Amino acid sequence: MDKKEENVEKVEKLEEVPVPEGQSVKDKNTKKSKRDKHDSKLQEENKKLLEQISKLQEEKENLINKVKLTQAELVNYRKRKDEETQSMLKFANQDLITELINVVDNFERAIKLDDHDLSDELSKFLNGFKMMYANLMEILKKFGVEEISRVGEVFDPSQEQALMTDNVPEMDDDVVTEVLLKGYKLNGRVIRPASVKVNSK
């Protein structure tokens, strides 16, 4: 048998290969096509799920950042409120102290009288005034009140108001020469500027 005949016989044998019962070649192709479609569908779903996961992770990061920002804002708000509350408590009695300072002015005017020109009775009365004045000044000091007394220093418009000028040769220009009406600070804040004379040559 030559080679040509051998090939013909092989082809005939292949054609005789039995197909499983109830299944044709067409059925096999259909199943393969269905499997391919199923795989393609799974890949698409996987892709969608990965996109959703990525989107959710991004949203999670955004939410975490928002929470952090909100917490930072809350901390800053609390700090501001604490500072405002402390400031309010620190200067809550400013109006009362401003009124009391006017009383201090009257005390000072009264005790400027010369003891030597007074009778014993008036002198004792004046001593009582001086004691009350000293007591009042101690109370004010306890609440953070301090005098503005800057004679010999350069005029500071944030603490003083110049009512008059003076001409003192041995002092520089713009130096406070005399306090006409005392100024006061409450816990470092000027509540009444001092009325002063300022040197001007």
Contact between 145 and 184 under an 8 Å Cβ cutoff? The reply is yes
Residue 191: is it exposed, middle or buried by C-beta count within 10 angstroms (0-12/13-18/19+)?
middle
Shared domain for 132 and 101, answered yes or no, is yes
Shared domain for 125 and 166, answered yes or no, is no
Tell me what pLDDT residue 165 has: 92
Distance CA 144, CA 13 (A): 117
pLDDT(116) > 60:
yes
Q: Which two tokens stand for residue 160?
A: 């003083």
Of 17-21, 70-74, 152-156, the poorest mean pLDDT is in 17-21
Tell me what pLDDT residue 119 has: 72
Shared domain for 98 and 79, answered yes or no, is no
Q: Is residue 47 part of a domain?
A: yes
Q: Is residue 122 part of a domain?
A: yes
Residues 59-97 pLDDT 10s: 999 999 999 999 999 999 999 999 888 888 888 889 899
Number of domains in the chain: 3
Average pLDDT, the chain: 83
Q: Is residue 5 part of a domain?
A: no
Q: Is residue 15 part of a domain?
A: no
E-strand spans in 31-175?
145-148, 160-166
Tell me what pLDDT residue 29 has: 61
Q: Regarding beta strands 194-199 and 145-148, do their DSSP bridges make them parallel or antiparallel, or are they unpaired?
A: unpaired
Spacing of C-alpha 75 from chain mean position: 8
Shared domain for 132 and 151, answered yes or no, is no
Distance CA 136, CA 140 (A): 6
Tell me what pLDDT residue 14 has: 45
**Phi, psi values for residue 165, rounded to 5°:** -110, 160
Confidence band, pLDDT 50/70/90 cuts, at residue 27: low
Contact between 183 and 160 under an 8 Å Cβ cutoff? The reply is yes
Phi-psi region of 68 (alpha: psi -120 to 50; beta: other; left: phi over 0): alpha
Shared domain for 163 and 181, answered yes or no, is yes
Domain of residue 124, residue span:
93-143
* Measured CA angle at 168 (ends 167, 171), to 5 deg: 125
Confidence band, pLDDT 50/70/90 cuts, at residue 5: low
Shared domain for 101 and 82, answered yes or no, is no
Residue 194: is it exposed, middle or buried by C-beta count within 10 angstroms (0-12/13-18/19+)?
buried
Shared domain for 200 and 152, answered yes or no, is yes
Q: Any idea what the CATH number is for the domain that residue 194 is in?
A: 2.30.22.10
Q: Is residue 11 part of a domain?
A: no
Q: Is residue 26 part of a domain?
A: no
Residues 148-175: what's their mean pLDDT? Answer: 93
Residues 49-60: what's their mean pLDDT? Answer: 92
- Comparison of pLDDT for 162 and 86, the residue scoring more: 162
